[in-house]
Amino acid sequence: MFGFFSKPPPEPTPPDRNERAKCWESRDAYFSCLDAAGVLVPGQEDGRCSAQRKSYDLNCAKSWIAHFNKGRVFAERQKQMQAQLNTPQPFNSQGKRAGKS
Amino acid sequence: MNIIRLHRAPHSLRPHAFTPSRSLLFSRQISATRCTRVGRNTGKDASQSSNVVKSEDGQEVVEGSPNGPSKSTVEAKRRPLTQQTASGQRDRSAVGVFTPTAALLFIATGVGLYFYFQHEKAKILEAKRKEMLANKKIGRANVGGPFELTTHTGQPFTEKNLLGRWSLIYFGFTNCPDICPDELDKMGKVVDELDKLYGPISQPIFISVDPSRDPPPKIAHYLRDFHPRLVGLSGTYPQTQAICKAYRVYFSTPKDAVPEGDYLVDHSIYFYLMDPDGRFVEAFGKSSGVGDVVEKAVEEIGRWVEEKGGATKTSVGQVAVEAEKTT
């Protein structure tokens, strides 16, 4: 089935637990494909994960896809920032972080 | 002390020897002839005379002995102070209102009064604090208030329906991609845990922040995936706005949103624990696990039972009964 969004408007029912799980599954498959291809931003993979992308588009609402895609980039950026914060940089003689003079 | 007595003694013995010179002379004579303890009191005439006095009295009175002062020394004490001696000045300083004792008393009273008033003030503040705590006006966030919504079964639901139960309230929307279902699942688990411990004293509530797309039937459909006791509330846009304001919840539903629109609602993603009086207890974020929430709830319920004598007893028992009827 195509899920809730395949039904005609005006009364689309929100996805139930199964549909949500299906959407999340296809999202995870697509994202791990992007990871393998070394692509961070969805859509920049040049058709390399087309099968996963198709399933993703099919099982998730457009608004959800936009949300997940944004979330992926955001999470990655957050991870990088966290890593930067966690690696302590030595102070130089002026009490400033090295490399930021 | 020693010196005072030593000076007075000769005069008491010789009432006519008023001038210091004669007294001095007299004491010198005695010291030369009769004093037996000169060796010890070298250098000071006065001190020498003291020893004489004691020997003449025939009493071996030493300073501070249990026999008390000799007759002569008592007499000397009663004599008006006419001499400009060191002892005279000291005694005169004690005359009048401002004696050292009075000063001490004054300070002691002041200090005592200070502490007394501090104590009284603390007592009053404590009483006030307790009163405030009883009214739950202090120590808790000003979250909650009157609202009017509709349940997923079409029944009216107001803040009065929160009374008599521990409410867990989550704000979300049915088209929520990931966080809302996770949080509602978490809430359901918390309810199950609390049920095990206390029975069904808690009431999970879902409040939609997406009024245009979440009418009661749709919420009813959505809730089938979650805890059977979960109540789904929704209202008009102004009603939603009002409760979100009262509960300090941010949401960004477009005002002109259409039911068929595919959009997400940005909103605050914590859920609240409210006590049987319908007052705010705690807010839990995404990072709080089921265990964290249960722990906090158990703590609060324990405190509540201690205070009210029952896990679901409200401060105003009557209202709770009414609420029970309407739900």
Instruction: Say what the pLDDT of residue B64 is.
Output: 42
Domain boundaries, chain B: 2-93, 97-139, 148-326
Contact B60, B54 (CB under 8 A): yes
Domain boundaries, chain A: 14-86
| Contacts across the A-B interface (CB distance below 8 Å) | 48
Helix, strand or coil, per DSSP, at residue B156:
strand
pLDDT for the residue A19: 92
**3-class DSSP assignment, residue B18:** coil
Burial B159-192 (b: 16+ CB within 10 A, else e): bbbbbbbbbbbbbbbbbbbeebbebbebbbbbbe
* Residue A75: closest CA among B258, B178, B35: B178
Give CA B135 to chain center in angstroms. Answer: 17
Separation of alpha carbons B115 and B103, rounded Å: 18
Q: Which of B181, B259, B260 sits opposite A20 (nearest CB)?
A: B181
pLDDT computed for residue B138 by the predictor? 54
The pLDDT value recorded for residue B109 is 93
Q: Is A14 on the interface with B (CB under 8 A)?
A: yes
Do residue A67 and residue B262 have CB atoms under 8 angstroms apart? no
Strand partners of residue B171: B207
B213 min Cα distance to partner chain A (Å): 8
Looking at beta carbons, which residues of chain B come within 8 Å of A68? 177-178
User: What would the DSSP string read from start to end of B41-57?
Assistant: GTT-HHHHHHHHHHHHH
Greater confidence, B272 or B253?
A: B272
The reply to whether residue B263 touches residue A63, judged by beta carbons under 8 angstroms, is yes
Mean pLDDT on B128-146: 73
d(CA B221, CA B289): 26
Predicted confidence (pLDDT) per residue in B210-256, tens digit: 888 889 999 999 999 999 999 999 999 899 989 999 999 888 876 66
Cβ-proximal residues to B31 (8 Å cutoff; 6+ apart), any chain = B38, B45, B48, B49, B52
Q: Is B35 annotated as a binding residue?
A: no
pLDDT score for B35: 42
Sign of CA dihedral B57, B60, B63, B67: negative
Q: Write the residue in B175, B181, B260 that is nearest to A10 by C-beta.
A: B260
Q: Which two tokens stand for residue B153?
A: 């079964």
**What CATH architecture is B148-326?**
3-Layer(aba) Sandwich (3.40)
Strand bridging mode B156-158 / B271-274: unpaired
Contacts of A63 in chain B (CB under 8 A): 175, 177, 262-264
Q: What's the rounded mean pLDDT across residues A84-88? A: 83
pLDDT in tens, B65-110: 444 444 454 454 555 544 445 554 555 555 566 788 888 999 999 9
Q: Which of A10, A60, A63 sits opposite B259 (nearest CB)?
A: A10
Residue B140 has pLDDT above 80, yes or no: no
- Is B297:B166 a contact under the CB 8 Å cutoff? yes
Q: What percent of chain B has pLDDT over 90?
A: 38
C-alpha span between B119 and B270 (Å, rounded): 42
Predicted pLDDT of residue B136:
53
CB atoms A61 and B262 under 8 Å: yes
Asked whether the beta carbons of residue A10 and residue B258 sit closer than 8 angstroms, the reply is yes
Greater pLDDT, A94 or B315 = B315
Q: What pLDDT band is residue B55 in, cutting at 50, 70 and 90?
A: very low
